[in-house]
Amino acid sequence: MSARFSRIALFHAIEPGSQFWAREISRIGVEDVFAGLLERRYDPIKSAQAIRQLENFNLEKFEVELARYGAHCITPADAAWPITVDLLENPPLALIVKGNLEALNNSSLAIVGTRNPTPYGIRIAGDFAAGFVDREWAIVSGGAYGIDAAAHRGALVAEGCTIAVIASGIDSPYPSGNAKLFSEIVENGAIVSEVSMGVPALPHRFLTRNRLIAALSKSTLVVEAAFRSGSLRTARDAAELMKPVMAIPGPINSPSSEGCHRLIGERSAELVTSVADAYELLSVINETIPM
């Protein structure tokens, strides 16, 4: 089997974010891991589901499904592949992209935050998205309700490019209530998924996809987040990749800003209060440490 076939079959069969499989693929390559699974060289009980998926995988059928949804499956061998995701400890095997493939390699800012924002958070997310779009950056977020949606809309209102990294298959972007937003995103930007069609958005997949949001972006901005929030995970992922993290302060008694204040207090994020401040900070860092 070709390396591409093996990689896409494994993409179809293995849960994203697995450190074990990432290490194995790095050690012996996708073709040997593919063969090893089919030859039962790995624990056949633990790997039973992956083996079944590989045995039933049909590349032609997969590509027909991709075409049906107007999507592309890209791998590290493709020119459109965003090489920054290869810096992850557990990089994706492949990515399914609907929309503008070139958007994946634009200078971009991730804007993340709570699904239950205040009007203040919604306004700030939209303003920062529009401000960076005006400076010819793309905006990356997760397509969820709240801050994510506000960031995407801010970029769209400014007639810019935005990328939604989703936790479900490209055939059914989650949440379904943002269907209109997703259709607007692909007109100039892209929707990106690390799972195959038909895969639902289960809770653990949101945390797994957060690392992609961080990896695709030059920097991450947290607008509003609770003390324990998935957005903080994105910030940690960005920091592990040595990418700048910024946070917006809020009222000291606002639960929606506790996560931002935590990042700022721990010196895990730079406090920013305007688009100009954020852009200047990233410009200085970029001159010192090219991103």
Same domain, 116 and 41: no
87: left (phi over 0), alpha (psi -120 to 50) or beta: alpha
Q: What is the span of the domain harbouring residue 29?
A: 1-57
pTM, 2 dp: 0.93
pLDDT for 290: 46
Taking alpha carbons only, the member of 269, 266, 223 closest to residue 243 is: 269
Same domain, 111 and 252: yes
Q: How far apart are the first and last CA of the chain?
A: 36
Q: What is the pLDDT along the chain (291 residues), one digit of tens a residue?
A: 689 999 999 999 999 999 999 999 999 999 999 999 999 999 989 999 999 999 999 999 999 999 999 999 999 999 999 999 999 999 999 999 999 999 999 999 999 999 999 999 999 999 999 999 999 999 999 999 999 999 999 999 999 999 999 999 999 999 999 999 999 999 999 999 999 999 999 999 998 999 999 999 999 999 999 888 888 999 999 999 999 999 999 999 999 999 999 999 999 999 999 999 999 999 877 655 444
Same domain, 105 and 186: yes
Is residue 87 one of the residues assigned to a domain? no
pLDDT for 1: 60
The residue written with tokens 């305007």 in the block is 274
Number of domains making up the chain = 2
135 token code pair: 């400076």
CATH code of the domain containing 208 = 3.40.50.450
Same domain, 181 and 46: no
Same domain, 108 and 171: yes
Is residue 242 one of the residues assigned to a domain? yes
Same domain, 18 and 143: no
Same domain, 213 and 276: yes
Same domain, 108 and 45: no
Quick one: CA dihedral 210, 132, 87, 102, positive or negative? positive
CB-based contact 16:205 (threshold 8 Å) = yes
Same domain, 151 and 19: no
Is residue 88 one of the residues assigned to a domain? no
Same domain, 11 and 107: no
Cα–Cα–Cα angle for 34, 21, 203, nearest 5°?
120
105 token code pair: 């390699």
